[in-house]
Structure 1
Amino acid sequence: MFGVDGAGTIGFATESFASRLDTTPARLAGTRFGAVVAPDSDDPLADVETLRERPAGETRRCRAFVRRGEEPLAATFKFAATEGRQVVGTVRERTEQYRHLFEQSHDAIVLFEIVDRCPVVRAVNAAFVTTFGYGRSDIVGESLNEFIVPDERWNEATDYDRRTAAGKTNHAVVSRKTVDGRREFVYRGLTYTTADDRRYGFAIYSDVTDDRRRRRRLQVLHRVLRHNIRNDLSVVIGTADYIEQASGEANHREAAARILTAAERIASISEQARAVEVALSNRSDRAIDAAEVVRSVVETYDGIQTTAPTAAPVTGGVAVYSAVENLVENAVAHTPEGTAVRVTVADESDEWRIRIADEGPGIPAIERGAVFDDEDITTLSHGTGLGLWLARWVAESAGGALRYDRDDGWTVVTLVLPRADDSDDVLSPHSAEFDPNATY
């Protein structure tokens, strides 16, 4: 608690109030109240002056930043009028939990206020100082964009500021200037409005530079290798087929047949790798009708028993089609001819479960351990295809899971996917815009 006299001077202060400002009651006594308010913050004295004209007991609340070393303190003031035109006040921080979260986060975070559509910095955490190289005294009260936004990204940044000013959130991958040069971040912008209609926002920056660069390098390497393998295999397959057909020697035809089989298997794996790349590059948050996906996949096979509801909207996008297609193909291809295969779509609380069951011998334990149990991948456990891995990665990207079970002679692989909103935007495999080989 503290008291403010008619001249706007602090007449007294309690130990509790003084300690919040890293000082003592004796030092605060006689200090102009406006001196404890941080720069670029509204002066609460306006409320104090208003209260002097009001009856005793009437109160006012306001928010401001007060000085505390280099770090301004976000606080809420409560003033009360007393007899004799005196005003007493109390102050409290805007939640201790918020301060700890703000300071201890490994992501760079900045609190800013939108002033004339400009993000004026009010506070930054330690991770921001380390990442961008500006101390609190350098940047508080200044435009955030002036310090960290590259010139060519200025329009993009001001668009985000306009959205914040309108009370909208932001989420994007952005490039920003740091102490280590240009870095890429997942940027999340959160906004709130104070009781006095001032617009504030939090900008949270998660550095994803290394991950995105690694993915781009692997993508280039993958595409180059796949392109070269496909071209060379075309030659190998064509030559082996010619030798098998033209040779008069049985051992030559047998050798050519072995070459042809191996080359076609490698070509198949190359196509599976392409399917993985396409599937995982699609938006995993887009809704797709899993029931329609299952019906569309199984209609190309004979004898598969299917149970599915009218509709089952799930997240995962077009990649769900590739996942189901691979799981059904595995069930059919790796079981003896005539083996029963069942595909069901079941509603389980906030998720849908697509179960592919067969009466075959099951997935070998050494391969199953790598895909389903996260065991180390060895030369013996990686298997000969990518179908199960594709299904697992699709499920994980959508926030779901891939599960395996062996029950009463049945092998069951379950694709678990989160439920999506049943809206008009649910993608159907029968729609004109659906293309499993395109990216969305």
Structure 2
Amino acid sequence: MTDEPSVKRVADDAETRYQTLISHVRDAIVEFEFVDGKPLVCHVNDAFVDVFGYESAKLEGESLDDRIVPDWNRAEATRLNERTAAGEVNYQQVRRETADGLRTFLYRGVPYGDEAIAADGMAIYTDLTEITRQKRQLQVMNRVLRHNLRNAVNVITGNMTRLLNALDDQTSEQVDAAAKVEHAAHELETLTQEAIDIESVITAESVDTVIDCVPLIQRVVTDYRQRYPSAEIRMTLPDSMLVSADSRLRRAIESLVTNAIEHNPAATPYVHVQVTDNGPNGWVEIYVDDDGPQIPADERTVIRGDANIEPTHHGSGLGLWLVKWTVELYGGELSFETSSLGGNSVRLRLLRGDHDAME
């Protein structure tokens, strides 16, 4: 025999929990019913009022589209309404009109499909305005700067070579000055490439691919042994190790090896790359150890996110940012320690590629 009071109490509790959840969610949410194909507002949460700037009492019973959809986007809104009325869930980036102007939202239209519910569905709006604006601005700045920097580097190096060739008697001061200009041009070129690599990372979706990091690291070490014959580069690797990553991992490893060599004033810089498996917990650690000067504590603090980026507190370049954002793209973590050699031990912690199978 059904305990009807208990069933009603459970239903009332569920409704209370639902209303509490909706009222505290920081996304703008509106419940609506369709009348003659138009979504009329039944209820909005506090976040909707805050984000869109319209009073709740003035919205209820009104057409949602008349209030927040720009005239030139009505066809899009009609199409989304038709899908919702047909019982389909909508998921799309849209532009909607607030009391302060247009903003960009991630829109989710969810039909209820239950005649016992007074409303026909709900729309959830997540404000993406600042994120999309900053992303677009970053892309534009990155592309303009990297193009201009690359052209400037070519002009500097080309004309410096011509200038030195035109001098019959080159003094030591001239040769020294030319070397400094060449070094600065090389740094600009490196900075430009790092900016290109960073753009490919920060504009990417999350990665769900698996690669074997061992042959990737072996190729990096082989390449750098040829590029820096004075350096001693060693590796301690298993036969194979699958990690959740993609080919961009190579640029992160290369950046760490480059830093370890070029920032080490020793005649024979030492670098040791190793991979360890933490066993059943599903994580792999890639270490790049060196015997060079320590990465400044201020720079490590900024990279970890423990300090704000300031004019005097920002890090010396983009290399470690490239590594950090690449690892975080894979759902991993970057950390710094002191190596057994007294230098840096930079650790990349990545998920094992077969960690799901271990659970």
Figure out how many residues of one structure are paired with residues of the other and give that number: 342
Identify if the C-alpha distance between structure 1 residues 163 and 238 changes in structure 2 by more than 3 Å, giving closer, same or farther. Answer: same
Deviation at 1:404, TM superposition (A): 0.9
Aligned mate of 1:277, from 183, 196, 199: 199
Q: In the alignment, is residue 323 of structure 1 matched against residue 279 of structure 2?
A: no
Deviation at 1:397, TM superposition (A): 4.3
Aligned mate of 2:165, from 231, 236, 245: 245
Q: In the alignment, is residue 131 of structure 1 matched against residue 62 of structure 2?
A: no
**TM-score, with structure 1 as normaliser:** 0.63
Alpha-carbon RMSD across the aligned residues, in angstroms, is 4.2
Measured in 2, the distance between the counterparts of 1:232 and 1:147 equals 51
Contact 1:308 / 1:346 at 8 angstroms: preserved in 2? no
Using the aligned pairs only, state the percent identity. 34
1:400 aligned partner, one-letter code: G
Alignment of 1:363-382 (within 5 A): 363-372=295-304, 374-377=306-309, 382=314
Deviation at 1:326, TM superposition (A): 1.8
Secondary structure of the residue aligned to 2:327 is helix
Q: Larger helix proportion, structure 1 or 2?
A: 2
| Unaligned residue ranges in structure 1 (runs of 5+) | 1-56, 62-75, 79-88, 424-440
Measured in 1, the distance between the counterparts of 2:212 and 2:111 equals 35
Deviation at 1:99, TM superposition (A): 1.7
Deviations 1:50-71 (A, max 9, x none): xxxxxxx98989xxxxxxxxxx
**TM-score, with structure 2 as normaliser:** 0.74
Alignment of 1:14-413 (within 5 A): 92=12, 94-112=14-32, 121-136=41-56, 139-140=59-60, 144-154=64-74, 156-157=76-77, 170-189=90-109, 194=114, 201-247=121-167, 248-250=169-171, 251-289=173-211, 291=213, 293-295=216-218, 297-302=220-225, 303-307=233-237, 310=240, 312-314=242-244, 319-335=248-264, 336=266, 337=268, 339-344=270-275, 346=277, 352-361=283-292, 362-372=294-304, 374-377=306-309, 382-409=314-341, 411-413=344-346
Deviation at 1:212, TM superposition (A): 2.5
Measured in 2, the distance between the counterparts of 1:169 and 1:392 equals 36
Measured in 1, the distance between the counterparts of 2:325 and 2:12 equals 48
| Unaligned residue ranges in structure 2 (runs of 5+) | 226-232
Identify if the C-alpha distance between structure 1 residues 358 and 142 changes in structure 2 by more than 3 Å, giving closer, same or farther. Answer: same
Measured in 2, the distance between the counterparts of 1:101 and 1:407 equals 49
Deviation at 1:218, TM superposition (A): 3.8
Q: In the alignment, is residue 415 of structure 1 matched against residue 351 of structure 2?
A: no
1:346 aligned partner, one-letter code: D
2:272 aligned partner, one-letter code: V
Contact 1:351 / 1:416 at 8 angstroms: preserved in 2? no
Contact 1:111 / 1:200 at 8 angstroms: preserved in 2? yes
Counterpart in the other structure of 2:228: none
1:389 aligned partner, one-letter code: W
- RCO higher in structure (CA 8 A, sep ≥6): 2
1:360 aligned partner, one-letter code: D
Secondary structure of the residue aligned to 1:92 is helix
Contact 1:190 / 1:201 at 8 angstroms: preserved in 2? yes
Counterpart in the other structure of 1:46: none
Deviations 1:365-398 (A, max 9, x none): 3432332363354666545431111111233445
Identify if the C-alpha distance between structure 1 residues 338 and 58 changes in structure 2 by more than 3 Å, giving closer, same or farther. Answer: closer
Highest CA radius of gyration, 1 or 2?
Answer: 1
